[in-house]
């Protein structure tokens, strides 16, 4: 199962780096106000360059003068199920220590090509329609 990681990043501005494993790298977004933990909360997620998978284990300080200078700690990590990955929408289920459940990212068209909205989603499409249960009602004769 692919992995995800959320790193709290105390850089020029405090934010969270949200990363989803795909095609041998971490697809990455900077989330200024943190990952939404409550339904109905939408957060801006700004797509940044892909990161090597090894970076998902990084905690420490990036030296002043380097890109991303500041302190990083792993806030959450785990595995995820990519329910659907389209150019303008990503539906996925997180299985982390803190983050659990269905999430969705949609491209925020008014914000530019790198701006997405991240939020908790209803149940994944493949779980929305439960199989019909046999009726226990007795039909009149």
Domain ranges for the chain = 3-125
The predicted model scores a pTM of 0.83
Q: In the chain, which stretches have pLDDT less than 50? A: 125-141
Tens of pLDDT, residues 35-70 = 998 888 999 999 999 999 998 999 988 888 887 778
CA-based nearest residue to 72, from 55, 94, 95, 47: 55
Q: Are 113 and 121 in contact (CB under 8 A)?
A: no
**Residue 58, both tokens:** 């990084």
What integer pLDDT is reported at residue 22 of this predicted model?
A: 98
- β-pair type (100-107, 25-31): unpaired
What integer pLDDT is reported at residue 123 of this predicted model?
A: 67
Helix, strand, coil proportions of the chain in percent (round to 5)?
10, 55, 40
What integer pLDDT is reported at residue 64 of this predicted model?
A: 87
């Amino acid at each position: 199962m692919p992995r995800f990681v959320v790193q709290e990043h105390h850089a020029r501005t405090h934010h969270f780096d949200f990363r989803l494993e795909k095609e041998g790298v971490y697809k990455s977004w900077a989330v200024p106000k943190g990952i939404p933990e409550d339904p109905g909360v939408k957060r801006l997620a700004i797509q940044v360059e892909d990161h090597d998978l090894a970076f998902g284990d990084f905690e420490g300080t990036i030296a002043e003068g380097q890109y991303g200078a500041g302190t990083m700690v792993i806030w959450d990590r785990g595995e995820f199920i990519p329910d659907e990955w389209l150019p303008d929408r990503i539906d996925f289920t997180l299985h982390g220590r803190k983050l659990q459940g269905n999430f969705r990212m949609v491209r925020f068209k008014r914000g530019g090509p790198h701006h997405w909205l991240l939020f908790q989603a209803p149940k994944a499409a493949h779980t929305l329609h439960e199989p019909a249960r046999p009726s226990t009602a007795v039909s009149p004769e």
